[in-house]
Amino acid sequence: MKSAQPFVKWAGGKRKLLPVYAEKYPKRLQNGEIKKYIEGFVGGGAVFFDLIKKYQFEEVILNDVNNILISTYYIIQQNVEVLIDKLEKVQSIYLEKSPEERESYYYEMRDKFNNIKNKIEYDSYGENVIDNTRIEASVCFLFLNRTCFNGLYRENKKGGFNVPAGKYKNPQIVDAKNLRDVNEALKNVKLTNIDFEKLSDFVTKDTFVYLDPPYRPLNVTSSFNSYSKGDFDDEEQCRLAKWYRSMSDKGAAMMLSNSNPKNTNPDDTFFEELYNGFKIYEDIEAARAINSKASKRGAITEILVVNE
């Protein structure tokens, strides 16, 4: 468990920012007053995997609106060996193919994924039946994540995964050791696939809540926030800020990350107004990795909002 790492590549992943985040974690966490951890938009789970290496929690809830992502967490939690076996077979088939055959195989797997993924109805409270369809969806999902362009997850308005094939010489489609470590890390973790507001009943004053929502785009061409078929627009950002404030009033320790609009517009005070009264760090240095042009990937800043 101590060596578990994110098992998916995820746009906006926080692995490189963990040393900075560690300095901003609530003091109540460090002195043992925090008993519960809730992550509202788990994504790749880098913060979760970092925290459990350092702290003991009595309860952990990981949530995401992306049903196939949470379903895959569940498969790893409940039936990791079957998943590993199927992924190893897919990896063997893929690596034996020529570049042209790999691309064709990729699109076959993408079509298969889109045909079955929306049949997966994830029960928000973890009472699932592990059936072959659910496992196959996770196999396709992890294969596509490792072989698509930039490891990006994006859906169109109809909910179809639409990321093109990437070009990799020898991609690692399955990391069996890490999947087993993740399986161990997920022991006794509650996995939910619900709107963040529905997490309210789980939040108590001894809870640490971390929120990493789809980022507000820095400009009209940089929006990679369609992790599900619904858009997370400014109205949703406002709804999230209202919920953040209400959970803070409840006594929970809160932390939220987002884009910094001042990268492109120094006069944009959107988040300053939304999170007025909270500490906002505007100098969290990150790297833009999802721009299609390598020359435009580089250091930018993000924000981090904390309430204590």
Task: Give the CATH number for residue 152.
Answer: 1.10.1020.10
The answer to the question of residue 9 being in a domain is: no
pLDDT bracket for residue 11 (50, 70, 90):
confident
Q: If you average pLDDT over residues 239-257, what whole number do you get?
A: 98
Same domain, 74 and 54: no
- Decide which of 305 and 217 is more confident: 305
Domain residues for the domain of 40 are 15-65+194-306
Q: If you average pLDDT over residues 225-248, what whole number do you get?
A: 82
pLDDT exceeds cutoff 80 at 127: no
Both tokens of residue 287?
């790297």
Nearest 5°: phi and psi at 61?
-125, 120
The answer to the question of residue 113 being in a domain is: yes
Same domain, 129 and 148: yes
- Nearest 10 degrees: Cα torsion 81, 83, 89, 95: -120
Nearest 5°: phi and psi at 287?
-120, 135
The answer to the question of residue 250 being in a domain is: yes
By residue count, the chain amounts to 308
What pLDDT shows up at residue 137?
93
The answer to the question of residue 5 being in a domain is: no
The answer to the question of residue 189 being in a domain is: no
pLDDT exceeds cutoff 70 at 3: yes
- Decide which of 66 and 280 is more confident: 280
The answer to the question of residue 187 being in a domain is: no
pLDDT bracket for residue 240 (50, 70, 90):
very high
Question: What DSSP designation does 215 have?
Answer: P
Same domain, 85 and 35: no
What pLDDT shows up at residue 112?
96
What pLDDT shows up at residue 225?
39
Give the end of a domain, one of 114, 145, 180: 180
pLDDT exceeds cutoff 80 at 223: no
Residues 6+ apart with CB under 8 A from 225: 214, 215, 216, 217, 231, 232
Same domain, 153 and 251: no
- Decide which of 264 and 272 is more confident: 272
The answer to the question of residue 114 being in a domain is: yes
Cα four-point dihedral sign 235, 237, 238, 239: positive
Percent of the chain with pLDDT over 90: 69
CA–CA dist 45, 230 (Å, integer): 21
CA–CA dist 287, 281 (Å, integer): 16
What pLDDT shows up at residue 12?
74
What pLDDT shows up at residue 219?
64
pLDDT exceeds cutoff 90 at 217: no
Same domain, 153 and 254: no
pLDDT exceeds cutoff 90 at 130: no
pLDDT bracket for residue 226 (50, 70, 90):
very low
The answer to the question of residue 10 being in a domain is: no
Give the end of a domain, one of 180, 203, 222: 180
Domain total of the chain: 2
